[in-house]
Amino acid sequence: MDLSAINPVLLIASLMVAATPLLLAAIGELVVEKSGVLNLGVEGMMITGAIAGFAAAVESGSPLAGFVVAAVAGAALSLLFAALTQVALANQVASGLALTLFGLGLSALLGQRYVGVKPPQMGRIDIPVLSDLPVVGPILFAHDVILYFGIALTGAVWAVLKFTRAGLVLRAVGENHEAAHALGYKVVRIRTLAILFGGACAGMGGAYISLIRVPQWTEGMTAGIGWIALALVVFASWKPWRALLGAYLFGGVTVVQLNLQAAGVAIPVEYLAMSPYLITILVLVILSADKSSAPASLGRSFHASR
């Protein structure tokens, strides 16, 4: 065993990369749930974003174009969910599950031609002096632009929910849709917009996996990250900064277990491989006592006549 082989600076830098797809998807889902809608289709929207972004990046040669297309594709798929749950008033849990299954199948179909293709590379932002700083440089100043976007988005969502009128309205719709309706807010429209935002974020999260983290396309490559993002929203008690913390924790455990393995730690590999999921479950159990902040209308359908 040789723990000194693990470089903590590089470890933190790579856990930030591992956490970003999770963070993007979780922030999107957080906004959706704040509006009172439970969309279990995150995994399906992520994988659809992953292939749509990958295909767009390969065809256009620009990774950024890939991310834009991924966001649009994720939003488009979530529009289907919005139509089912907001207009047709279908059950949200069933619709969300259907969305995931549909997304997995659709992405496999779309991806047929892209297996084994090499995508264009996304450059890192290199700030001349800052990137070369000893410890802080690799951690803070040597990443791709999407990673910073994810952190900025977390801040923006937090600020909007907490300080703006729009955030207040969104929360009102999520807490008590009848009261919000009585006040004259368009509940269905607001929820649909929130669902679209969630879809776009999930799509980008998926594209981050296929374009930056791996970078390659394979069927089912999101490998359950969408489900973890869902758990993460609960884990974070619907608070954006806690979602960031949770994403880094999960990303960290994922990276640390491989590091421990490479350093020859004598823990059976199987335990290390399941550790990220075990810790997710554990934290969920501990935090489940704190139910106070769940939006009161979460998962309930709304119709103006009732």
Q: Which stretch binds other proteins (CB under 8 A): 93-101, 174-182, 190-198, 209-217?
A: 209-217
Closest of 96, 116, 103 to residue 29, by C-alpha: 96
Q: Which residues of 18-52 are buried (b: 16+ CB within 10 A; e: fewer)?
A: bbbbbbbbbbbbbbbbbbbbbbbbbbbbbbbbbbb
- Residue 262 touching other proteins (CB under 8 A): yes
**155 belongs to the binding site for other proteins (CB under 8 A):** no
- Contacts by 9-14, CB closer than 8 A, 24 or more apart: 9/135, 9/138, 9/139, 10/138, 11/252, 11/255, 11/256, 11/259, 12/139, 13/138, 13/139, 13/142, 13/143, 14/255
Give the count of residues interacting with other proteins (CB under 8 A). Answer: 34
The residue with tokens 């269905």 is: 188
Is residue 5 a contact residue for other proteins (CB under 8 A)?
yes
Q: Which of 125, 130, 269, 296 binds other proteins (CB under 8 A)?
A: 269
118 is a contact residue toward other proteins (CB under 8 A): yes
Q: Does 46 bind other proteins (CB under 8 A)?
A: no
Q: Give the Cα separation of 144 and 54 in Å (integer).
A: 16
Q: Looking at beta carbons only, is 118 or 291 nearer to other proteins?
A: 118
The correct pick among 254, 280, 297, 302 for binding other proteins (CB under 8 A) is: 254
Q: Does 259 bind other proteins (CB under 8 A)?
A: yes
Contact footprint for other proteins (CB under 8 A): 5-7, 10-11, 14, 18, 115-118, 121, 209, 213-216, 218-219, 221, 223, 254-255, 258-259, 261-264, 266, 268-270, 273
